[in-house]
Structure 1
Amino acid sequence: MGVAGCGKSSLAALVAQTQGLSLIEGDDFHSADSRAKMSQGIALTDADREGWLSRLGEELRQHADGAVLSCSALKRQYRERLRAAAPGLRFVFLEIDREQAQQRVTARAPQHFFSTRLVDSQFATLESPLGEERVLRLDATAPLARLQAEVDAWLKQGETA
Structure 2
Amino acid sequence: MVLMGVAGSGKSSIGEALAARLGIIYLDGDGLHPAANIEKMSHGIPLTDDDRWPWLEQVGLRLRDAERPTAIGCSALKRSYRDFISKTAQAPVLFIYLAGSKQLIASRMHERRGHFMPESLLDSQFATLEEPAVDEHAIRVDIAATVEDIVTSIIAAMSERVGKDREQ
TM superposition score category, shorter chain reference:
over 0.9
Which residue matches 2:129? Answer: 126
Which residue matches 1:116? Answer: 119
Structure 1 runs of 4+ aligned residues shifted over 6 Å read none
Q: Structure 1's 64 and 134: CA in aligned 2 closer, same or farther, altered over 3 A?
A: farther
Q: Do structure 1's residue 52 and structure 2's residue 69 form an aligned pair?
A: no
**C-alpha distance in structure 1 between counterparts of 2:105 and 2:60, whole Å:** 26
**C-alpha distance in structure 1 between counterparts of 2:81 and 2:17, whole Å:** 24
**How many pairs were matched up?**
160
**C-alpha distance in structure 2 between counterparts of 1:119 and 1:132, whole Å:** 27
- Which residues in structure 2 correspond to 1:1-161 (within 5 Å)? 1-63=4-66, 65-84=68-87, 85-108=89-112, 110-160=113-163, 161=166
Letter of the 2:65 partner, please give it. Answer: Q
**C-alpha distance in structure 1 between counterparts of 2:90 and 2:96, whole Å:** 15
**C-alpha distance in structure 2 between counterparts of 1:158 and 1:60, whole Å:** 20
**C-alpha distance in structure 1 between counterparts of 2:139 and 2:145, whole Å:** 14
* Aligned sequence identity (%): 38
**C-alpha distance in structure 1 between counterparts of 2:118 and 2:157, whole Å:** 33
**What 5-or-longer segments of structure 2 have no aligned partner?**
none
**What 5-or-longer segments of structure 1 have no aligned partner?**
none
What is the TM-score normalised by the length of structure 2? 0.89
Q: CA deviation at 1:130?
A: 3.4
**C-alpha distance in structure 2 between counterparts of 1:132 and 1:8, whole Å:** 23
Letter of the 1:20 partner, please give it. Answer: G
Report the secondary structure of 2:72's partner residue.
strand
**C-alpha distance in structure 2 between counterparts of 1:41 and 1:78, whole Å:** 22
Letter of the 1:56 partner, please give it. Answer: V
Q: Structure 1's 131 and 158: CA in aligned 2 closer, same or farther, altered over 3 A?
A: closer
**C-alpha distance in structure 2 between counterparts of 1:115 and 1:34, whole Å:** 13
Q: CA deviation at 1:64?
A: 5.2
Q: CA RMSD in A?
A: 1.4
What is the TM-score normalised by the length of structure 1? 0.93
Question: Is contact 1:130–1:137 with CA below 8 Å preserved after alignment?
Answer: no
